[in-house]
A and B are shown apart, each in its own frame.
Chain A
Amino acid sequence: MIRRAATVGRVGTPAVRAYAPVVVACGLVALLPLRYGDSRPMMGVVIGGVLFACYAVGFNVIFGSTGQLFLCTGALAGLGGYASAILSDRHGLPLMLAMLLATLVAATAGGLLSWIAVSRSLGVIFTGIVTLAFALAFQNLLLGQRDLTGGETGLVVEAGSDTLLGEQVAPFYVFVALLAGYLALFRALQRSHIGWAFRALRDDEIAAELAGVDVKRYRVLAGTLGSGMIGLAGALYAHSEGFISPSTFSFGEVDVLVIVMLAFGGIGSLLGPVVGAAAFTVLEEWMDSFNEYRLIIYGSVILVLFLVLPRGVVPTVQGLVERLRRRAGRPAAPVAPSPVDTLNPG
């Protein structure tokens, strides 16, 4: 079976061209406060959108790059958020240190889950179930440990409110910077030997192993890295929002959206998370008045997406562009394969 080679990873694509999408996308996003900077609620929505884009990039690293179905994105973010809040508020740690430790906690949790999954050769279903069990258990932990986490009522996060993060517009730029960093990291991974290993093991695990790729190590690496990214975003959110509760990080609030966003944008693609996050933040806002239909709409979106457009928007558009270029006689543009490729009947 002939798969399109990921030429984006090929040595020789100039760095400027490779990172341009990151700069352009984040540049555009950074313009938003010009329109919404005056409204606190709107800034909240916009920040939420960028936050989810960050979550989605992390999930993209785990699932898009190495095919591990982690159904615990919310829990990983929650680990970051709650850990950072507790460490800084309760134990007086400086903000940066608290966030760093929180990131490490999330990264370790994710890495551990990956490691368990690869050691026991758990397939998609079992990885999904184990991570889901973790997510649900974490949720119950948050609810049950009242003294530590405030239980259902949630936790007010004071640390950070006196910094940039406490303002109305400034946190937005912090998040955009984070997103830019994440996207740059994703692109750097794609262009590196790590990215090559990821593609190899996604394509044919046994062949990759035989070619010398230590599949286990790369899966755990992806799990650790992606989880850390998700955790950091969660921690940052905790401090900028000033309040977190178990529902902030529940499966229904986070995981569902992240999966749908990434599926829409394009699993495995660079800008998929951004496109998906943008689309669904707008949709959520628009749906505010149709709250009863929310689940129905998301369910239908999932069905339509995975039946009709499993590659997502970005790769489909890239494919179209490539066909136009070829007709115009120009060389083909790079298109990276994704694990969802296998969902394509073609």
Chain B
Amino acid sequence: MRAVVFDGVVLGLQFGLLGVGLTLVYGLGGVLNLAQGQFAVLGAIVVALRIDAGSAVVPAVLTGLVVAGSVGLALDLTLMRPVYRRTGEDRVLLGLLLMLGVAFIIDGVLVWRYPIEALTLRIGGEPVDVLGVRMRTGSLLASAIALGVGAILVLFLRYAATGKAVRSVIQDEEGAQLCGVSPEKVRAFVFALSGVLAALVAVTRSMTSPVTVNAGIDFTILALIVAVVGGLGSVSGAFLAGILLGIVNTVSAHYIGTYVTTIVLLGAAAITIVLRPSGLLGAGRE
């Protein structure tokens, strides 16, 4: 049982990182990035292609991250302009639909050009004993990365000037403008960042299981569930929800079955929305 829970934590940390990008983008501007999963897969495929072409792992990973981030940035600077010009529910609806279209396009292009491509990062080394449970080095590395990046992110948002600027836009956009913070620049930055984070999760996932070219939808749905349960706009909420749901995922999959597990996770999101829409940690709190 302990092994299952540990696996759940490993998974959960990565879930959290995946949800963070989505929750930040939504908190900043009401845009639900339904292409989050596709950003992740895009990053993974780029890394895989670079490795196939003979590159070393670390530069390949960096390339993948940069590509994913750049696509995010490009999208924000182009497609999102008409979206941000609208307000309220108009903006939400248009943003959602446009990102859905983008998701299809990225998915379609990747599946069409690289139908059999997948990313698998083999991390060598003997399994390590952690609190009585044998953990693969891949899992440990993935957890360490997710935890490390997550910690940096939380600290950045809490203490760095730009990080505070990000939080200020989430908490009160007009107030932020009056302080000299440009919401457009903050949004562009965060959109790019969410692309990088998504790609990073794909890379860490690939350390324990292959990330295929059609994994996009699954990633998006996971990110969505985590972000909703954690509270749209809350980074620490996304991590908390990620860990909780990661554990639920592995425990349920181990003892019950995969189909039920998915239903349980979806149910968690639905119940959160119905009972406590602000999620576990509400919006704006870091």
Chain A residues in contact with chain B, CB under 8 A? 69, 116, 120, 122-126, 128-130, 133-134, 136-137, 140-141, 143-144, 256, 259, 292-303, 306-307, 342-343, 345
Cβ-defined contact, B269 with A306, below 8 A:
no
In angstroms, Cα B132 to Cα A325, docked, is 82
Cβ-defined contact, B96 with A128, below 8 A:
yes
B227 to chain A, nearest CB (A): 10
Cβ-defined contact, B98 with A292, below 8 A:
no
In the complex where A129-B224, A141-B259, A296-B108 touch, is A120 in contact with B89 (Cβ < 8 A)?
no
Chain B residues in contact with chain A, CB under 8 A? 30, 32, 79, 82, 85-86, 89-90, 92-94, 96-98, 100-109, 111-112, 221, 224-225, 228, 257, 259-260, 262-263, 266-267, 269-270, 273-274, 277
Chain B residues contacting A128 (CB-CB under 8 Å) are 96
Can you give 12 contacting A-B residue pairs, CB < 8 Å?
A: A116-B274, A120-B273, A130-B274, A133-B269, A137-B266, A137-B267, A292-B112, A296-B104, A299-B103, A301-B101, A303-B101, A307-B98
Per DSSP, are chain A's interface residues mostly helix, strand or loop, or mixed? helix
Cβ-defined contact, A294 with B108, below 8 A:
yes
Smallest CB gap from B227: residue in A: A129
Cβ-defined contact, A295 with B105, below 8 A:
yes
In angstroms, Cα B38 to Cα A96, docked, is 44
In the complex where A136-B221, A293-B112 touch, is A126 in contact with B89 (Cβ < 8 A)?
no
Tally A-B pairs: CB < 8 A. Answer: 118
Chain B residues contacting A256 (CB-CB under 8 Å) are 104
Chain B residues contacting A69 (CB-CB under 8 Å) are 93, 96
A44 to chain B, nearest CB (A): 25
Partner of B266, one of A120, A126, A136: A136
Chain A residues contacting B277 (CB-CB under 8 Å) are 120, 122, 126
In angstroms, Cα B86 to Cα A342, docked, is 9
Partner of A295, one of B82, B107, B228, B270: B107
Smallest CB gap from A342: residue in B: B90
In the complex where A124-B92, A126-B277, A343-B86 touch, is A302 in contact with B97 (Cβ < 8 A)?
yes
Cβ-defined contact, A302 with B267, below 8 A:
no
In angstroms, Cα B83 to Cα A345, docked, is 10
Cβ-defined contact, B259 with A143, below 8 A:
yes
